[in-house]
Amino acid sequence: MRILAIETSCDETGVAIVETWGSSTAPKTIKVLANTLVSQAVLHAEFGGVFPALARREHAKNIVPLVVHALKIARLAKKLKVERVLTKKEVFALAKILHKEPELFVQFKELLNSFKIPKVDAVAVTSGPGLEPALWVGINTAEALGALWGVPVIPVNHMEGHIVASLMNTTDDGKTFSLATPKYPSLALLISGGHTELILMPSKGKYKMLGQTRDDAVGEAFDKVARMLGLAYPGGPEISRLAEKAPAHQKLSVPLPRPMLKSGDFDFSFSGLKTSVLYAIKKFETLTDRDRELIAKDFEDSVTEVLLTKTLTAAKKYNVKEIILGGGVTANKKIRGAFREAVSKELSGTSLFIPDVHLSGDNGLMIGVAGLLRSKPKKHIIANGTLKLAKSVSPTLAELRKKKKM
């Protein structure tokens, strides 16, 4: 089974080609034929966050060239000796799928005119959650490829992709990797620019939401606090670098809060913490480099403490065999180190999975592997910006308010 995977949920355009043998839904070894990525981060930097219309435009500009590039790397791009002319039926099908992306239509025509249909068995694509205008570019590209190559299209939940990325173990050659078989019950902490979720996985493919953020996602808080401190987007790595400069023994004179630490549930909230940073900044008449370093360090410490405490409490309560961390924020050194240390000290029988740093952010590879595991094709995929992986065990605050009103 060979899958071409597409990721366009946020500000990274990712295309990967993966291959496995034998059972595709329980593979042990997966070969990476190509893994390509174009990041738009520098373009969004001046807005201090991802600007959806710009993300859409950039995905549309880059996606077809990236598909061709990935096919070339995988040695699957075979040029036709004589250019082919698309049939009327093909042109009609393409125009229908790409009616919202006319710029893609021309690029697709060139791709199909010049290259033989590659040996690919399916196309996988992120269908949500994420920015809908951005998701549509990936979905329409995947559907166009599916229709013209005559292969099924598999929708993939982006958050499931982040979980899978954590289970991937790159081998020495970097081109194949083994996939850990999760042991259940398992607990996933998903921390990214749009999500902060603690999810219980009682058995394969089953997800229960134990808690989530009530306001900002943790990555979003990193990005906003970075902006307050005059740092570039994405803020996570910048805060980390600044925090590392702070002397280990020195603390912020008035420490930042540890939000929801004692809330008695598994929900999170980072919006108040962000406001506390703003107050801390305002307190200084002139903010020195050392002040900024101490603020960054205490912010990172606060986030780490809250994430770790809640995850460990849930792991003990549900007696989980594994803890899986996923999402862009898992690239954070402090968080990685704190989880490793605490799990080995306090939960010696529990395994901890953290993605390789190069797989922690958004990428096409994790979508390809999640697509292999899922293998459930669908006709007419719809972008869903708020696609859920798991149902809440307890109602969220918004749901409770809605119920009260009824």
- Verify binding: residue 182, ligand KG4, rule CB under 6 A: no
Q: Kind and range of the H or E element at 168?
A: strand 168-170
Within residues 158-217, the interface with Zn ion by CB under 5 A covers 192
Residue 197 binding ligand KG4, by CB under 6 A: no
Q: Which of residues 20-39 bind ligand KG4 (CB under 6 A)?
A: none
Residue 218 amino acid letter: V
Could you say which of 128, 182, 259, 328 contacts ligand KG4 (CB under 6 A)?
Answer: 328
Distances (CA, A) of 188 to 211, 219, 300, 353: 11, 16, 20, 9
> Residue 36 is inside which H or E element, if any?
strand 29-39
How far apart CA 349 and CA 356 sit, in angstroms, is 22
Which residue stretch of 67-75, 133-141, 217-225, 279-287 sits at the interface with ligand KG4 (rule: CB under 6 A)?
217-225
Q: Which of the stretches 89-97, 107-115, 234-242, 317-325 binds ligand KG4 when contact is defined by CB under 6 A?
A: 234-242
Between 357 and 400, CB nearer to ligand KG4: 357
Q: Give the span between the Cα atoms of 70 and 6, in whole angstroms.
A: 11
User: What is the CA 379 to chain-centroid distance, rounded?
Assistant: 24
112 to 71, 116, 228, 258, 366: CA distances (angstroms): 13, 7, 48, 55, 26
Check binding of 14 to ligand KG4 (CB under 6 A).
no
**Interface pick for ligand KG4 out of 331, 352, 354, 369 (rule CB under 6 A):** 331
Query: Which amino acid, one-letter code, is at 116?
Result: K
CB-CB contact of 361 with 8 (8 Å): no
Closest separation in Å from C-beta 154 to Zn ion: 18
Binding of residue 211 to ligand KG4 (CB under 6 A): no
Q: Which is nearer to ligand KG4, 12 or 19 (CB)?
A: 12
> Quick one: which segment of 54-62, 132-140, 215-223, 383-391 binds ligand KG4 (CB under 6 A)?
215-223
Closest CA to 113 of 94, 86, 87, 150: 86
For residue 62, which amino acid is it? N
State the minimum distance, in angstroms, from the CB of residue 226 to ligand KG4.
7
Q: In 3-state terms, what secondary structure has residue 20?
A: strand
Distance in Å, CB of 48 to ligand KG4, minimum = 11
Which residues of this protein are in contact with ligand KG4, per CB under 6 A?
10, 192-194, 219, 222-223, 234-237, 240, 327-329, 331-332, 361-362
